[in-house]
Amino acid sequence: MIVSIRDVSARCASCGGTEFRQLDAGAVRPATRMACVQCNSTTTYRELLDSIGEEAMRRANEALAKLKKNSPRRRKSRK
Ligand SMILES: [Zn+2]
């Protein structure tokens, strides 16, 4: 399975793979153990979600920086 929120997918910390398989039976919970299908390194669903959050934050900051750069004075900000 690919763990993703919107267009951000969780990546394996070891190999960068995005495909994981669930090690614990049942519904996926934050504590559910996940294994990378490529290198078999294990993590948890919570960690994968955390990494998505970090990536999303990084992208948001990047987009914001780009926005500021591209339109330095398109509209004066009101206070
Ligand atoms: Zn991996």
Q: 48: exposed, middle or buried (C-beta count within 10 Å: 0-12, 13-18, 19+)?
A: buried
Looking at the chain, how many residues does it have? 79
The residues that bridge with 33 in the sheet, in sequence order, are 44
2-23 pLDDT, tens per residue?
999 888 999 999 999 999 999 9
Take residue 37 and report the two structure tokens written for it. Answer: 């299908």
Say how many Å lie between the CA of residue 14 and the centre of ligand 1: 5
Q: Which helix (H) or strand (E) holds 22?
A: strand 20-22
**Encoded amino acid at 59, one letter:** R
pTM of the model: 0.77
Backbone angles phi, psi at 60, to 5 degrees: -65, -45
Residues whose Cβ atom is located within 5 A of ion ligand 1: 12, 14-15, 17, 36, 38-39
19-38 pLDDT, tens per residue?
999 999 999 999 999 999 99
